[in-house]
């Protein structure tokens, strides 16, 4: 069916350079047909998000053309204009506003269309919200707060919102929605991913999807065609229904080398016998029970378990964000008590990095400021308590760059660097290996 159809969306020879040096995209062309899921894969920094941001008007390309339904049109100048033409995006992070109710979140930014003589027409919004959730098989109440929903449901509400945005913005026009999902499954567990995909597959009748991912088995299972980007260039394209492609082929195209062996060589032991953290029968009722382990200096310890098993709660307890009901927590030989606030744990050397950059970084601040924020003592002037961010900047070559302007790999490095800049402590052991400096 596809070969002779006109793509609903096509870009040709798109290039984009940042700051005159970073060639994020180099003559990239992709096409999306009606009712298909198109994968875009590549290593960190390959240019995937840049391409997606160009499609929704966040970035302007240096060159290239956009065709919608076979007709050349200018690139959108902002996300609203993109939605008017049928293109909308669900970002990996920062998508959800936790304290909005589901129906408020669904219509966020479109309230003017629901303004009645007596104010906002909430009942109409709730009714229409119920309809769209039913249409996409999303199980939740429109009056639930977003933070109350499981992550997979939150993602589905975000996807429903993207489709709704296209419908509301393109009123009266016949547009074919193309929904971009930029690594939507990254924070989800295996079961949550499956659930999300079952829903997305059902939505294929109404929408086309561009699916950005790192997870090869997921791409192989769910997408119809896949484009591979490497260093800003399109290096491969596979039609998974027609081409005999293996996971190894895809992996090879992504990394650009033959070696596929994930070898985990026995690491040289650098762990000392000094126990820096002892967790003994730790219990927080309703979350986890009787958890015990020890962490030695220089050790990197993994905590593994399915969603809801309590692993994040154990870490949040150690960081002082949650209390505990029973058991013992000993940090560098000193017992820590329930109710002790996070800043006390921080002084004892415990850093906590949830991995959710959207919650932990100030995106409009420079990298240098972000790295310094949990470490203010070090940058306070000796005689005048003025924050000397210049001090930190010395250690950080790209410190003047805005954190929000970086790719996702770089923001994660900034996150870890925050804690690395802290005085030596358990947090460093928890982080495991020293992260590469953002400037490296
Ligand atoms: N706003 C920006 N300013 C400067 N450089 C940027 C900006 N956005 C992205 N880059 C750079 O462009 C390149 C491509 O980044 P992009 O975010 O598109 O990669 P990606 O494939 O989405 O990576 P990831 O898998 O880490 O999300 C990277 O070198 C990145 O640092
Ligand atoms: Mg990205």
Q: What is the pLDDT of residues 374-405, one digit of tens each?
A: 666 666 655 655 555 555 555 555 445 555 55
Ligand 1 binding pocket includes 216 (Cβ within 6 Å): no
Buried b (16+ CB within 10 A) or exposed e, 312-321: bbbbbbbbbe
CATH of region 9-255, choose from 3.30.70.20, 3.40.50.2020, 3.40.50.300, 3.40.640.10: 3.40.50.300
- What is the CATH T-level fold of the domain 271-350, as seen in this structure? Rossmann fold (3.40.50)
Write down the pLDDT at residue 309. 72
Tokens of 209: 């999807």
Write down the pLDDT at residue 433. 34
Which tens digits make up the pLDDT trace of 77-88?
999 999 999 999
Which ligand is located closest to the Cα atom of residue 22?
Answer: 1
Q: Which residue has the higher pLDDT, 374 or 216?
A: 216
Residues 6+ apart with CB under 8 A from 110: 164, 165, 168, 169
d(CA 439, ligand 1 centre) in Å: 14
434, pLDDT greater than 60: no
Candidates 238, 231, 109, 253; CA nearest to 168 is 109
d(CA 237, ligand 2 centre) in Å: 19
d(CA 306, ligand 1 centre) in Å: 31
* Of the listed ranges 51-60, 61-70, 420-429, the one predicted with least confidence: 420-429
Q: Are 390 and 423 in contact (CB under 8 A)?
A: no
Write down the pLDDT at residue 59. 94
CA Rg value for the chain: 24
Which ligand is located closest to the Cα atom of residue 46?
Answer: 1
d(CA 367, ligand 2 centre) in Å: 18
Long-range contacts formed by 128-134: CB under 8 A, 24+ apart: 129/102, 129/103, 132/106, 132/160, 132/163, 132/164, 133/102, 133/157, 133/160
Write down the pLDDT at residue 429. 37
Q: At what angle do helices 151-169 and 122-135 cross, to 10 degrees?
A: 110
Ligand 1 binding pocket includes 363 (Cβ within 6 Å): no
200, pLDDT greater than 70: yes
Ligand 1 binding pocket includes 174 (Cβ within 6 Å): no
Q: Are 238 and 226 in contact (CB under 8 A)?
A: yes
Which tens digits make up the pLDDT trace of 162-192?
989 898 888 767 788 999 998 877 667 667 7
d(CA 388, ligand 2 centre) in Å: 32
pLDDT (mean) for 308-325: 87
Ligand 1 binding pocket includes 25 (Cβ within 6 Å): no
Residue located nearest, by CA, to atom 4 of ligand 1: 18
d(CA 45, ligand 1 centre) in Å: 5
pLDDT (mean) for 85-110: 87
290, pLDDT greater than 90: yes
Residue located nearest, by CA, to atom 20 of ligand 1: 45
Ligand 1 binding pocket includes 423 (Cβ within 6 Å): no
d(CA 427, ligand 1 centre) in Å: 28
Residues 6+ apart with CB under 8 A from 175: 68, 84, 85, 86, 166
Helical (H) or strand (E) element with 212: strand 208-213
Give the C-alpha separation, 15 to 377, whole Å.
44
d(CA 182, ligand 2 centre) in Å: 7
Write down the pLDDT at residue 137. 84
Domains 9-255 and 271-350 share a fold: yes
Residue located nearest, by CA, to atom 19 of ligand 1: 45
Write down the pLDDT at residue 328. 95
440, pLDDT greater than 50: no
Q: Which residue has the higher pLDDT, 270 or 69?
A: 69
d(CA 15, ligand 1 centre) in Å: 13
Domain boundaries in the chain? 9-255, 271-350, 352-440
Residues 6+ apart with CB under 8 A from 27: 13, 14, 15, 64, 233, 234
Ligand 1 binding pocket includes 293 (Cβ within 6 Å): no
pLDDT (mean) for 149-155: 84
Pocket mutation for ligand 1, best pick of 16, 19, 23, 24 (most atoms within 8 Å of C-beta): 24
pLDDT (mean) for 242-253: 88
- Confidence band, pLDDT 50/70/90 cuts, at residue 436: very low
- Confidence band, pLDDT 50/70/90 cuts, at residue 195: confident
Ligand 1 binding pocket includes 213 (Cβ within 6 Å): no
Calculate the average pLDDT of the chain: 81
Ligand 1 binding pocket includes 438 (Cβ within 6 Å): no
Which ligand is located closest to the Cα atom of residue 411?
Answer: 1
Give the C-alpha separation, 157 to 106, whole Å.
7
Give the C-alpha separation, 411 to 434, whole Å.
15
Question: 73 in helix, strand or coil?
Answer: strand
Write down the pLDDT at residue 432. 33
* Of the listed ranges 199-203, 224-228, 295-299, the one predicted with least confidence: 199-203
Ligand 1 binding pocket includes 18 (Cβ within 6 Å): yes
- Confidence band, pLDDT 50/70/90 cuts, at residue 428: very low
Helical (H) or strand (E) element with 134: helix 122-135
- Confidence band, pLDDT 50/70/90 cuts, at residue 439: very low
Tokens of 385: 């308590």
């Amino acid at each position: 069916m596809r070969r002779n159809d006109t793509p609903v969306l096509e870009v040709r020879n798109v290039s984009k350079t940042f700051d005159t040096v970073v060639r994020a995209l180099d003559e990239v062309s992709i096409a999306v047909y009606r009712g298909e899921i198109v994968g875009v894969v590549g290593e960190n920094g390959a240019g995937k998000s840049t391409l997606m941001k160009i499609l929704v008007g966040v970035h302007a390309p240096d060159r290239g053309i956009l065709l919608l339904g076979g007709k050349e049109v200018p690139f959108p100048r902002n996300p609203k204009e993109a939605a008017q033409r049928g293109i909308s995006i669900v970002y990996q992070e920062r998508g959800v506003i936790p304290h909005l109710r589901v129906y408020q979140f669904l219509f966020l930014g479109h309230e003017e269309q629901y303004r009645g003589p007596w104010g906002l027409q909430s009942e109409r919004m709730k009714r229409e919200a119920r309809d769209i959730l039913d249409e996409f098989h999303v199980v939740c109440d429109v009056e639930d707060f977003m933070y109350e929903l499981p992550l997979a449901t939150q993602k589905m509400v975000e996807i429903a919102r993207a489709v709704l945005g296209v419908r509301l913005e393109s009123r009266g026009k016949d547009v074919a929605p193309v929904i971009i999902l930029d690594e939507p499954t990254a924070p989800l567990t295996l079961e949550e991913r499956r659930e999300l995909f079952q829903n997305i597959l059902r939505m294929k009748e109404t929408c086309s999807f561009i699916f950005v991912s790192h997870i090869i088995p997921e791409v192989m299972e769910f997408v119809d065609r896949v484009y591979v980007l490497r260093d800003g260039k399109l290096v491969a394209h596979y039609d998974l229904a027609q081409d005999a492609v293996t996971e190894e082929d895809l992996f090879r195209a992504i990394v650009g080398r033959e070696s596929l062996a994930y070898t985990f060589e026995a690491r040289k032991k650098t762990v000392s016998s000094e126990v820096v953290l002892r967790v003994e029968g730790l219990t927080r009722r309703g979350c986890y029970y009787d958890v015990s382990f020890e962490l030695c200096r220089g050790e990197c310890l993994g905590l593994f378990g399915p969603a809801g098993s309590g692993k994040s709660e154990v870490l949040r307890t150690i960081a002082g964000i949650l209390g505990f009901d029973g058991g013992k927590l000993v940090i560098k030989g000193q017992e820590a008590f329930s109710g002790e606030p996070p800043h006390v744990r921080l002084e004892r050397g415990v850093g906590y990095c949830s991995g959710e950059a959207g919650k932990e970084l100030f995106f409009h601040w420079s990298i240098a400021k972000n790295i310094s924020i949990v470490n203010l003592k070090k940058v306070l002037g000796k005689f005048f308590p003025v924050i000397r961010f210049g001090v930190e900047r010395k250690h950080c070559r790209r410190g003047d760059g805005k954190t929000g302007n970086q790719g996702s790999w770089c923001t994660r490095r900034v996150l870890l660097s925050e804690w690395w800049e802290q005085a030596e402590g358990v947090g460093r052991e928890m982080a495991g290996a020293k992260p590469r400096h953002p400037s490296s």
